[in-house]
Amino acid sequence: MLNVSGLFTEYVSDKGVVVQAAKDVSFEVPKGKLFTLLGPSGCGKTTTLRSIAGLEKPTHGLIEVNGQAVYSAQKGIFTPPNKRGFGMVFQSYAIWPHMTVFKNASFPMEVGAKKYSPAEIKSRVMRVLESVELAQFHDRDATRLSGGQQQRLALARALVMEPQLLLLDEPLSNLDAKLREKMRFEVKKIQRELDITTIYVTHDQSEALALSHEIAVMSSGRIVQRGTPRQIYETPNSTFVADFVGAINFLDATVKAINPGEHSMVLDSEIGVIETPNPEGFLVGEKVQVCVRPENVHLSDEAPHLNHANHYLGLVHLKIFLGEVLDFQVKIGGKLMLARVHPHQKTPVDHPIYIHFDPSNCVVFKR
């Protein structure tokens, strides 16, 4: 449905320096899917979205929707943003305070090039307000809505024109934590029910994991990994992706032995000997980094069974109660390991505790 190929976009900074914000960005999004551009501030994700919207003019590349180019450097095509027929929701809701909920949602239909009858406007607006659960507030002043309701109204206004592509730029970042979590479900439900192709920009990795069919992680203007939420989280292709998408433990190590028949490696690390999978391409004596997610680090007051690989004795350094989980910092030698466990683990601070993790939960990178 959407094809972005070899996209380069640059701008001139306040100091007059040319900044390459998007560098050779390429991806495809099938119809009805939600595709997320994820990365830290300044990585190029919003510039890429604005290039798709037509709010930025790229220097090279191709942007096609349903096989129709809206931008092509080679063919000299640049369709203005108001002619692309995309819906867009920004970080700030941009709700018009002097209008009712209905008027806010109907505004695009009333000012667009295509003319609609009052009956058509009412029918379509009420249908969209129903989908975002605001129909009962249609005659209320927009300023009397809560933050979450205003966000849903901004979404309704973008959907009322039935756009072929919906662009969402950090739409939930202004909401408080609990409302943001609720709105994730709302956005996901609406997007799936309406089967609308969506590009979503965020720096919030949990938001990206919760909403997306596919994620592109960006750094310094480039896509560094693409995959499903599970692939991005469980099999990152670099220490940058591993560190950015969720909490993780990094362990410096050296390859001690390789067991080709068992597809495994034995490493000397800063907490002791570690057994890991062998993804090939590693050599004995090579410096590596081992990555282990906190939820895969298991704790026990008793020594694990002797045939368990990767078990160590440490001291509880710190505990943080988070309600449904408990974060433990366990000190092994001079290294702090983070474990995320059920609150039933009661071991006090400064008491000994055993940790263990399965070799299959380790991801290894060359250092």
Q: What is the pLDDT of residue 343?
A: 95
Q: What's the rounded Cα separation, in Å, for the pair 272 and 18?
A: 48
Neighbours of 89 (CB within 10 A): 24
Residue 174: predicted pLDDT: 78
Ranges of residues in the chain with a pLDDT under 70 are: 306
Strands 214-219 and 34-38: parallel
Distance between CA atoms of residues 152 and 173, nearest Å = 14
Distance CA 166, CA 90 (A): 11
**41 vs 338: CA distance, rounded Å:** 26
**Coil, strand, or helix at residue 51?**
helix
Handedness of CA 193, 194, 196, 198 (dihedral sign): negative
Phi-psi sector, 177: left (phi>0), alpha (psi -120 to 50), beta: alpha
Phi-psi region of 44 (alpha: psi -120 to 50; beta: other; left: phi over 0): left
Short-list 83, 106, 85, CA closest to 156: 106
pLDDT at 91: 76
Distance CA 292, CA 269 (A): 13
pTM of the model: 0.90
At 273 the pLDDT is 96
* Residue 82, pLDDT score: 86
Quick check: 358 and 307 in contact, CB under 8 A? no
Evaluated on CA atoms 305, 306, 308, 311, the torsion sign reads: positive
- Which pLDDT value is given to residue 306? 64
CATH number for the domain running over 249-366:
2.40.50.100
Provide the pLDDT for residue 260.
Answer: 83
2-244 belongs to CATH 3.30.365.10 = no
* Of residues 136, 25, 4, the one with CA closest to residue 72: 4
- C-alpha span between 222 and 89 (Å, rounded): 23
Query: Which structure tokens are listed for 57?
Result: 């003019």
Listed in sequence order, the residues at least 6 apart from 72 whose beta carbon sits closer than 8 Å to its beta carbon are: 62, 63
Question: How far apart are the two ends of the chain, measured CA to CA in Å?
Answer: 39
| Listed residue (267, 220, 229) closest to 365, CA to CA | 267
- pLDDT on residue 347: 96
Torsion of CA 91, 92, 94, 97, to 10 degrees: 150
- Taking the C-alpha atoms of residue 364 and residue 168, their distance in angstroms, rounded to an integer, is 34
User: Could you say which DSSP state residue 359 is in?
Assistant: G
Domain ranges of the chain: 2-244, 249-366
